[in-house]
Structure formats: structure tokens, C-alpha cells
Structure 1
Amino acid sequence: MQPNQIDVDRIQKAAHLMARLWSDEPSKHDQHACTTWRAADPANEKAWQCLIQAQGHFGNVPKDTVKIIARSRNISRRHMLSLLGLSTAGVFFTGSYIENRTMSSGQDYKNLATATGEIKSLQLSNTTRVVLNTRTTLSMPTASQFKLDDGEVFLDVSTTTPYQIETQEGVISFQQGQLAIRRTDDITRISLFSGRNIQLHGRQMQVPLSIKPGESMAFNAINSSTMSPANPNSIGWVTGKLMAQRMPLTDFIHELSRYRKGVLRVSPELSQLAVTGVFSLSNTDQILHQLEATLPIHVYQLTPYWVSVTQA
């Protein structure tokens, strides 16, 4: 729907219906009212689709803008266009996607980032490769330093090359091998798959810790978890795969949600179900279809950016 076709009243009605369906427990009456309204007039369906398309512009919190539209009174056409991310050129939005990209060593690595669903591979030299997972922010203050603000990276260094990797929780000294670092929720997890021992120094730790190949550990600024075996499945994303071996469905859906824009919810009681398999991250919708076909679950897709997984 182009800007000159925007019907403010219909968009507001669509937003109102969508907001009701986004409640924790939408009623059958709400679902029926939405279906009936969309079918009543082709213009209603166009307004609904316009709202869905614009959600790509909202990023990971599409419902916030929908609520603003639904609750606003006497909203102007210009304000509506702004909220929907529209201009005279039309709709600006991108869907969920996976992008593998190799960059040459001559480019600027000082500030690197990946969008939702994007995986980026960077060849820093003939002996050093770094791969950024979805929603990752990484920088290189110097040629031998990394700073990971958020997200996940994989380092593959084939010859002895001293590197320091800094997160909010501490500093990791690494020379050679294959290392994965993930930072989420104020916790950093490191997994060393091969190479030389690495040193970890939490910001408020009294003494550094040593991690051997095949080991994994999570830590914050003060404490660290017990050592556990490094799980090769956890780096399947480096090759564009989500790998699971008897992973609770709730954990699997949480991992999958990192690669999708919008909201992907799962009922807590489904934690009793387990997922095993190798899934291509190039199509997260297909993964949901596979799960629905093999497990006693129902995948309810209100819009491409709002999906709920419940018990069948």
C-alpha cells in the first residue's frame, strides 16, 4: 500500500484488532472479529497487510507502534506515515534473513555489527577468521584487540597470534585455535574447541582462570561457573545451522527467536518436549513448520512478526 492509499481509519481499526490478538490469552471472539473484519472489504485486508509489512521497520518491538496507532485519537495522516515507516517512496522494511558475507582484510574492522538473522564471516588475515552471529556488536580498537558489546563471535586462528577479547565481564587472552564467545544478559560464556589454553580474568576476580581445549565456562565480573565440556552443537550457526540434541523445546525456541524479527513466544509447559536435529537458519518459518509436523504443538502466526507456540 502506497502513502497516497493510506486509510487512517482502517489502519487504526486493524491496529486495534491486532493489539487485542497480541494479549496473553486472545479469545475466540477476538480471533473471529478479526477474521470477519478482514474478509468484509478488500480495503480492510489491504490495511491489515500494510500494518504487517510495516512491522519489519519496527525491529524487535512491533507491538509498541501498533499500540500507539490503536490508542491514538485524531491521528494525522503524516503521523501515521511516520509510525508505519512510510514515505513518498513507499514502505521501508526488511524481513528475517540470513546473510553470510566474507570481507577482505583491507576494510575497516573498528566497528562491526550484524542485524537480526545475519551471520557475517570476516577474513582478517591468511591465518585469522572471525564470524559474527545474529545481533552482534563487535569492535577492534587495535589489530590485536576485540571488544564484544553483545552477541556472539567465533574466532579461528591457525597460527600463534596473541589476541585480547574484552567484554563487560572481563578480558580473555587467546593465541591459537577455535574459540566461541557469547555475551547475553550480563554473562559471558566462552568455549574453547581447539588450540592453546586461554586465560580469563574477570573484572573483579582476584586471580585469572585457565581454560583448556574442550572446555567451556560462563562468568560475570565476579564469579564463574563450573567447567563443562565445550558443546560442538553450540557453534552450528557458524555454518548457518541450528543444531540440537535433546534440547528442551523452550530453549530451542529461545535460540530460534534470536534469528527472527518480532516476537516468538512459547508456552512454558512445552519444556518437557525435546528437540533433536540439524535445522537450516536460512528459513526459520520452515523450522517452525518442521517442529509442528513432528511434535504435539501448534504454531499460531498472527503476523510474520508475532508467533506463538502452544500445546496442540
Structure 2
Amino acid sequence: MHALQPGARAVSGTGISAAQLDSIEQAADWFSLFASGEACPGDRDAWQRWLEASPHNVWAWRQAERLQQRLQGMPGDFSGRVFGLAREDRRHSRRTVLKGLLLALGTGALGLGGYREFEQGALFADYRSGIGERLPVTLADGSQLLLNTQSALDVRYAGGQCRVTLRRGEVLLNATPGARLSVATAQGVVRAEGGRFAVRQLDAATQVQVFSGQVQVQPEHSLAATALEQGRACLFDAGRILSTRVLDYAADAWSRGLLIANDQRLADFLADLGRYRPGLLRCDPQVADLRLSGTFELDDPEQIFRALASALPVRVERRTRFWITVMPAG
């Protein structure tokens, strides 16, 4: 584990870094949300994205689970662990959870062993980007990769070919002419010789977008590959190509640090934005269907929130810096 940097916050006696403390705060937010009974179905998906974004988050959530088990004295499945506290008259607010976590860490009850376990484990791919980060990588043949937010991949060379295994998130590949590249996902493999294309790992499918050249898409259980031409996009699962369509003109806007909305539902826009910032970003159902158009800078989320409040009848409520809800104005 990296040494604590000068000036970084720490919990006495543990060497907990500022990044770990941020994860503890975020874990307390998520824990109290699930315990409150107010979580909606989309919150579980957002929680999963947060959890997988960093080993700090996995470690912090494990501490929250261990704290609850100590309080209840009975481990259980995810639902039992998270919603058990809610049945106790909702006494365990975010503040209570946070204090309990920090107290447990400060007294050494939880310690750093669990954190080291995750830091050294499978969560560390060859290359991984953090929340909101765009990570450039240059391959040995000169091809360029750009990892989108919360992405992770491995790179291997064999037989004159570079094989990229996309473990999470999205990658934009700009292959040098003639370079043999393949991108493996949970659903299959995408092959190319040169060209510029993007591959994104979704929950149960893979998305492919071709900006120049041509790629071959082969689902895991398919005997043949399907050609995808420049200007096209497709979605496939392990068995087949699910759909193809014309490529959205703003599909690679994220690579330039932009988020472009074209008459987009507010709920969908916020779901996209939520990938680029830590914590929970919720959209009140009353404003979910408002339409939005514009070009926004991903590196300036506060400007985005100001623009939303100016252009739409909404207000931005901040319960904490990691828990934001866009609600009706007034």
C-alpha cells in the first residue's frame, strides 16, 4: 500500500488515507440509503458501479458490513445485512454509521488487513481508470488506447497480435494501420486490423462503435464473426448480435471531455453523468422526463448542475457531497 502522503488526513493509529476516508464517507451514504427503505431499483446498479470503481470502496463497504454484523451478531445475505438496520426503527443514520466505522477503525477493531487483501487482489488490472478519469495508454506497436471512466483492462501480446481483455467499462482504440488488435469481453471478442473503434462492457452485453475502418464481432457462442463497418454500432451478448444501428455523432464526445445531450431525457442524462462522478446522483421521478440539449464539460460537474438549474425547472439538493438529487424547483 502506498505510504500516507504529507498533509493527508488520517485516523489516529491506523494510517488511513484521505482516499480511504472518502470511501468510508461514501459507504456510510450508501448504507444509510439502503437502510432507509427509500432506495429505488436504479440505486442498486449505481451502488454496484461505485463498489467496483475502486478497491477503497470495496474495502469501505466490507467494513460497513462487518460493523453491522458486530451490531446484530448475525451475518446474512446482501438484503439481510443492508436492510436489517432499517428494521430497528431506522436509528442508524448516515452519521451513526460513519461514527461507528471511524470508531471501529480507530480502535483497530477492523484494521487494515482487509484493505491490503483487496489492494493485492483481482481488482487490480494492468490498467484502470478512476471515477471521472480518462486514461491514455500507448501499446508497443504505437496503437493508442483511451480508457473511459471506471474502466479496467489487461494487455497481452502473442503471435504478433495484441489482445486486450476489457474487464469493466469502456475503451477507445486507435490502432495503427495493419496492427492486429482484439478486445475480449464477457460476451465475446472484437477483432480489427487498424481503425478506430470503441468497446464498452455493459451488465449483460457488449457495445461496439466503429469510427473508422472495420471490425469483426464474434459472440462467444457463435461460430462465425460479423463485420461491422465504419459509422455503425452494435450490441451483442454471448449468443448473437442483438442490434445494429447508425453511430451517434456524439458517441466519442467523452474522449474530448464532453457530454452532449440532444433532446435527451433528464433521467438518462443524469445516469450518464453519474458514471463520471463519485457517490449517488439521483433524479426525482417528477422531473425524469424533462428534455435537455446542450454540450457540457465532464471535468466541471458544478457547472453542469448550474446549467441544469438555469435551463430547467429543477433544483439540485445536496444531502452530502456524495449524495445529490435533482428535484422539481420550488
TM-score normalised by L of structure 1: 0.68
Q: Which has the larger radius of gyration?
A: 1
| Runs of at least 5 residues in structure 2 that lack an aligned partner in the other structure | 1-8, 13-27, 40-55, 72-90, 113-124
Alignment partner, residue 284 of structure 1: 301
Contact 2:266–2:291 (CA<8 Å) still a contact in 1? yes
Secondary structure of the equivalent of 1:251? helix
Residue 157 (structure 1) aligns with: 175
Q: Is the contact made by 1:191 and 1:216 (CA closer than 8 Å) also made in structure 2?
A: yes
Contact 2:177–2:194 at 8 Å: present in 1 too? yes
Partner of 1:129: 144
Distance 1:290 1:60, change over 3 A: farther
SS where residue 141 of structure 1 aligns?
Answer: strand
Where do residues 45-84 of structure 1 align in structure 2 (5 Å cutoff)?
58=57, 65=64, 68=68, 71=92, 78-81=103-106
Residue 311 of structure 2 is matched in structure 1 by 294
Within a 5 Å distance, the mapping from 1:133-144 to structure 2 comes to: 133-142=148-157, 144=162
Deviation at 1:184, TM superposition (A): 1.6
Are the equivalent residues in 2 in contact too, given 1:180–1:190 (CA < 8 A)? Answer: yes
Offset at 1:117? 1.2
1:262 and 1:75, CA in 2 relative to 1: closer, same or farther beyond 3 A? closer
- Decide which of 112, 118, 135 is 2:133's aligned counterpart: 118
1:40 counterpart residue number: none
Contact 2:232/2:244 (<8 A) preserved: yes
Q: How many residues align?
A: 250
Q: CA deviation at 1:300?
A: 0.8
Is structure 2 residue 229 aligned with structure 1 residue 204?
no
- Distance change in 2, residues 1:167/1:2 (3 Å): closer
TM-score for both structures, normalised by structure 2 = 0.65
Specify whether residues 241 and 140 from structure 1 end up closer, same or farther in structure 2 by C-alpha distance, changes over 3 A only. Answer: same
Deviation at 1:248, TM superposition (A): 1.3
1:191 pairs with 206, 209, 214, which one? 209
Structure 1 unaligned residues grouped into runs of 5+ = 5-14, 27-56, 88-109
Residue 174 (str. 1) matches residue 199 (str. 2): no
Once residues 82 and 305 of structure 1 are traced to their aligned partners in structure 2, the CA distance between those partners, rounded to angstroms, is 26
CA shift in 2, pair 1:75/1:141, >3 Å: same
Match of 1:247 among 264, 274, 292: 264
- Seen in structure 2, the aligned counterparts of structure 1 residues 76 and 283 have a Cα distance that, compared at 3 Å, is closer
Q: In the alignment, what sits opposite 1:307?
A: 324
Give the structure 2 partner of residue 95 of structure 1: none
Partners of 1:257 and 1:75 lie apart in 2 by 28
Counterpart of 1:261 in structure 2 is 278
Structure 1 residues 75 and 161, CA gap change in structure 2 (3 angstroms): closer
How far apart are 1:155 and its partner, in Å? Answer: 0.6
Alpha-carbon RMSD across the aligned residues, in angstroms, is 3.8
Per-residue Cα deviation, 1:115-170 (whole angstroms, up to 9, x for no partner): 11111112225741100001101111226110001100001124111111100100
Deviation at 1:82, TM superposition (A): 7.3
Overall identity of the aligned pairs, in %? 24
